[in-house]
Amino acid sequence: MNDNAILFPPIEPNRSGMLAVDELHTLYWEECGNPNGQPVLYLHGGPGAGSSPLQRRFFDPAHYRIVLFDQRGAGKSTPLGEYRQNTTQLLIEDIEKLRVMLGIEQWLIFGGSWGSTLALAYGEAHPERCRGFVLRGIFLCTKAEVEWFVNGMKFFYPEIHAAFANAIPEAERGDLLHAYVSRLFCDDPAVYTEAARNWSRYEGSCLFLKPQPEAIASFESDAVSLGIGRLEAHYMRNGAFIEDDALIRNIGAIRHLPAVIVQGRYDVICPPVSAYRLHQAWPEAAFHMIGDAGHSSMEPGITAALVRALNQFAAGQAFD
């Protein structure tokens, strides 16, 4: 690993492609690292955020066969921002189609934020296909977490929440989620593009413990904001298409598998209580509360903990 950085050096995919999963959605996927190595699946956040070259660098390319893909409606997958035929159950089916296509029997599952939600849902549906989990910035998509995201963050970021709310006429601000849904899923591109940009800017502005202007700018781009704005609202209004708190209730399906949970102490987007609740239900999992971090996986303390966990798993060591 590069002595001057926590992450491994940049790498390019060994191969990549597009996988048609139904008549509407086609997914971008890529493989990096050691073609004969330990398979690991990266599940990006959002939903709708897509993967990026930076995310390849968490993994030792000499050890891991690194698989990344863009979920339905996200990143390079088409159509961008498409919320029809887009549910957690279908995403789980997509992961299985990708696994079968790649000829992988079992893999380590790595996911942060919404990626942690999907990792838990996939693992509980297919525990026999998982070798373990590295989870960050836990989001269980409960009603309480959705309410916090839409309204609660104003207690820490009042000016950012005010900008988010003030984009909506005053008469509709009593139910911001409904107000944004009505705009994000309308037929007018000018309306839904602006709403998506406002939604995505709101999240991007709250990612880091210390503000990162470049991150905020990336969240405002159409390529990112359309996927994030539409799909986050879509999944939030539908409770991720799972029963409230089902991921905690069903944790017994994967408790026998090794896992590490990494959480920023000052994560305002996905407050630490969710990670704490997950660890209470899964006490066998290693749990790291990073004292000087917010939500982003790119904050140094979080990045270091994630890379350490992946290196431990690669070495056959128990997570600590």
- The residue annotated as part of the active site, out of 51, 267, 274, 297, is 267
Length of the chain as a residue count: 320
Q: What is the dihedral of CA 89, 91, 92, 94, to 10 degrees?
A: 130
Residue 200 is among the residues annotated as catalytic for this protein: no
Locate tokens 């086609």: which residue? 26
- The residue annotated as part of the active site, out of 161, 234, 279, 295, is 295
Type and span of the H or E element at 64: strand 64-69
- Give the residue among 27, 33, 28, 41 at the shortest CA–CA distance from 14: 33
Q: How many Cα atoms occupy the beta-carbon half-sphere of 114 within 13 Å?
A: 26
DSSP state of 253: G
Residue 267 is among the residues annotated as catalytic for this protein: yes
Q: What is the dihedral of CA 254, 296, 90, 287, to 10 degrees?
A: 10
Strand partners, 19: 27
**3 burial level (CB within 10 Å; 0-12, 13-18, 19+):** exposed
8, 59 Cβ separation under 8 angstroms: yes
83, 230 Cβ separation under 8 angstroms: yes
- The residue annotated as part of the active site, out of 25, 44, 77, 113, is 113
Verify cis geometry, omega within 30 degrees of 0, for the bond prior to 169: no
Locate tokens 């209004």: which residue? 237
DSSP state of 282: -
**45 burial level (CB within 10 Å; 0-12, 13-18, 19+):** buried
For 155-193, the DSSP string reads GT-HHHHHHHHHTS-GGGGGGHHHHHHHHHTSS-HHHHH
Residue 295 is among the residues annotated as catalytic for this protein: yes
Residues assigned a catalytic role = 113, 267, 295
